[in-house]
Amino acid sequence: VVLGAVLNIILDPLCIFSFHLGVKGAAIASVLSQLASAVCILWFLAHKQSGIMLRRHALKLQLCYVKKILMLGMSGFVMAITNSAVQVVCNASLQQYGGDVYISIMTIINSLREVITLPASGITNAAQPVLGYNYGAHKDERVLKAIRFMSVVVVAYMLLMWLFVYLTPTFFLHIFSSDRVIVKRGIPAIQLYYFGYFMMGFQFSGQSVFVALNKSGQAIFFSLFRKVIIVIPLTLWLPTVGQLGVMGVFLAEPISNFIGGGCSYLTMYLTVYKKLKNDCKAKEEV
C-alpha cells in the first residue's frame, strides 16, 4: 500500500508537469503505481517468507470456492456501484436545483467522506478475519468480544469525526477551495450532509459481521437498502418538498444513515449477536 501511494506521489508531478501529459499523466501515474503494488504482492507470495506460497497447480479455479468468494465480495461491489449511482442522481438533482456551485460542494463532501471513512473501513475489514476464524472454531465468546470492540471503536471514531466536521466546516472546505461562494454555501450543506454521521459506524459494523460470518445475503441487502431504496428516492423527492430545494439533496444522506445504519445493526444484533450470546449461556449451563 505504501509503495503504491509513495510512487503515485512521485510520478504524478513527473507525468503531469515534466512530461507535459496533463490529466492523462495523472492516470498513467496511478496505473503504474497500482502495477508496482501488484508485482510486489505477487513477488512476496511467490517466496517462502509469505508462509503460504503460490503454486501453479493450485491456481486452477474451483467453482465451489469461486461462488463463495463472489458472494462475499458482492457486498463491497454493491456498495461501490450504488455509491456511483447515488452520485449520478445527486449531481443531476444539484444541477437542476443549485447549479455548478453545489456540484463542486458535493465533490468536496465526497472527497472528505472517502478520507473520513477509510479508518472505519480499515477497522471493520481487519475485524473480519478475526470474526470468521473464531466463528468457524466455535469460539462464540471471542466473536462477541470482537463485535463489541469493533462496534465501540468504529462508532466512537465516527462520532468524533462528525463533531469535528460539524464544528469546523470552514477548515475542511478551505482544504479543497478558497472560493468564497463555495465556502459560504458549503458550510450549511456540509453540516447537514454529515449530521448524525456516527450512524454510519453501525452500518459498517453490521455489514462487516454479516460478511465475516458468511451471511452474504444480509450484507448485500443492506448495501442496496440504504442507497437504492432510501437515498436515491429521497434525493429525487426531498427537493420538491416545501422550500427545501438543493438542501433536500443533502438531507437525504443523514436520513439514510439513521434508517440504514439502525436497521443493519439491529438486524445483526437480533439474528447474530443475540443467538451467539444465547449459545454461550447454554454452553456455560452444560
CA distance 278 to 157: 29
Residues 162-215: pLDDT tens digits? 999 999 999 999 999 889 999 999 999 999 999 999 999 999 999 999 999 988
Q: What angle do CA 252, 264, 275 make, to 5 degrees?
A: 170
Of residues 272 and 48, more confidently modeled: 272
**Confidence at residue 36, expressed as pLDDT on a 0 to 100 scale:** 95
Q: Report whether pLDDT(75) > 80.
A: no
**Confidence at residue 102, expressed as pLDDT on a 0 to 100 scale:** 94
CA distance 145 to 142: 5
Is residue 51 very low, low, confident or very high in pLDDT (cuts 50, 70, 90)? confident
Q: Report whether pLDDT(48) > 90.
A: no
Q: Report whether pLDDT(54) > 90.
A: no
Q: Are 187 and 55 in contact (CB under 8 A)?
A: no
Q: Report whether pLDDT(16) > 90.
A: yes
pTM greater than 0.85: no
Q: Report whether pLDDT(80) > 90.
A: no
Helix pair 100-136, 169-176: axis angle to 10 deg: 110
